[in-house]
């Protein structure tokens, strides 16, 4: 079911695009989503592995959860939707910001550069002794040593847990206040503040588009929507945007 296009923005050198992605864009690369049938949160209680309280209660369980997800990444590749967003960033004039809720590095692997991970990154560790975030690709444990300050036993996954403040929010709100086009891809719209971005973009006059397998919780707030698998609807939408921009130039 697709919602008709209304109010396509000008896509010139002064245009500004904000894209939000969620777990759905990585689903066809083989990474489970969280809330779909059989999703991650149907197999493990998020309170045990994605909250500060869960980490304090049982750090080993949390390290094991993220170690398993980090190891899986060795066999995971970006898909056509990730590659389409990298192409959009390269080919469209104007300013572009990709805000992902995902902690995988598939957008980077596909070539995206103007990217922020608002929920942190699987391949990073945060030291509670020195406050530094460092790259970390192997297993992490209570015996791991901080690469910056060498303290042992104070590392945690550099992932934003429930109840914690997401990263880069100043930059995200600034981009939402100035964007002409806001596109939300592969997210259920069930977690704030990301779920509120569409309203913020609309309030600031942006054209808003949802690309998802099915209408999200905030689906009714988008001016335009295309439903289907990300590897189909995202490349098609990117082709359309590049075509519109070429006509307007
Ligand atoms: N193509 C497009 N969309 C898809 C696909 C697909 N192949 N498969 C699933 N989806 C959609 C689902 O319909 C759903 O709307 O992706 C969305 C995934 O929703 P969630 O599992 O809730 O993931 P997300 O929205 O990213 O969760 C947000 O919640 O648990 C926290 O920190 C976690 O970043 C995560 C946040």
What digits encode the pLDDT tens for the residues 135-177? 999 999 999 999 999 999 999 999 999 999 999 999 999 999 9
Q: Which residues contact 104 (CB under 8 A, 6 or more apart)?
A: 26, 29, 31, 73, 76, 122
Atom of ligand 1 nearest to the CA of 40: 21
Q: Which of 8-12, 90-94, 148-152, 177-181 has the lowest mean pLDDT?
A: 8-12
Residue nearest to atom 29 of ligand 1 (CA): 191
Q: How far is the CA of 29 from the centre of ligand 1 (A)?
A: 13
Contact 3, 224 (CB under 8 A): yes
Dihedral, CA atoms, 90, 96, 101, 106, nearest 10 degrees?
A: 10
What integer pLDDT is reported at residue 71 of this predicted model?
A: 97
Q: What percent of the chain has pLDDT over 70?
A: 96
Place of tokens 């390269």: 90
What integer pLDDT is reported at residue 1 of this predicted model?
A: 41
Is the preceding omega at residue 151 within 30 degrees of 0, hence cis? no
Q: Residue 2: pLDDT above 60?
A: no
Residue nearest to atom 5 of ligand 1 (CA): 24
pLDDT tens digit sequence for 37-78 = 999 999 999 999 999 999 999 999 999 999 999 999 999 999
Q: Residue 3: pLDDT above 60?
A: no
pTM over 0.85: yes
Catalytic residue annotation = 119
What integer pLDDT is reported at residue 86 of this predicted model?
A: 98
With cut-offs at 50, 70 and 90, classify the pLDDT of residue 29: very high
Q: Which of 47, 165, 188 to mutate to test the pocket of ligand 1 (most atoms within 8 A of CB)?
A: 188
Atom of ligand 1 nearest to the CA of 23: 26
Q: How far is the CA of 64 from the centre of ligand 1 (A)?
A: 22
Q: Whole-number mean pLDDT of the chain?
A: 95
Atom of ligand 1 nearest to the CA of 81: 1
Our answer on whether the CB atom of 35 is closer than 6 Å to any ligand 1 atom is yes
Six token digits for residue 16:
């500004």
Our answer on whether the CB atom of 24 is closer than 6 Å to any ligand 1 atom is yes
Q: How far is the CA of 89 from the centre of ligand 1 (A)?
A: 22
């Amino acid at each position: 079911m697709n919602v008709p296009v209304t109010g396509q923005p000008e896509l010139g050198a002064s245009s500004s695009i904000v894209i939000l992605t969620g777990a759905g864009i990585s689903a066809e690369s083989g990474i489970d989503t969280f809330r779909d049938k059989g999703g991650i949160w149907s197999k493990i209680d998020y309170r045990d592995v994605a909250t500060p309280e869960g980490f304090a209660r049982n750090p080993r369980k949390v390290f094991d959860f993220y170690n398993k997800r980090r190891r899986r990444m060795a066999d995971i590749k970006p898909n056509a939707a990730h590659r389409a967003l990298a192409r959009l960033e390269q080919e469209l004039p104007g300013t572009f910001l990709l805000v992902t809720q995902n902690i995988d590095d598939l957008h980077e692997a596909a070539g995206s550069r103007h990217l922020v991970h608002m929920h942190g990154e699987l391949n990073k560790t945060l030291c509670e002794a020195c406050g530094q975030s460092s790259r970390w690709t192997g297993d992490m444990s209570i015996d791991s040593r901080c690469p910056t300050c060498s303290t042992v036993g104070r590392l945690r996954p550099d992932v934003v847990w429930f109840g914690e403040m997401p990263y880069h929010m100043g930059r995200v709100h600034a981009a939402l206040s100035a964007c002409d086009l806001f596109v939300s891809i592969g997210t259920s719209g069930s977690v704030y503040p990301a779920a509120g971005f569409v309203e913020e973009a609309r309030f600031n006059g942006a054209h808003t588009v949802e690309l998802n397998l099915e209408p999200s919780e905030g689906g009714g707030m988008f001016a335009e929507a295309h439903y289907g698998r990300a590897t189909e609807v995202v490349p098609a939408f990117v082709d359309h945007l590049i075509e519109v921009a070429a006509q307007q130039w």
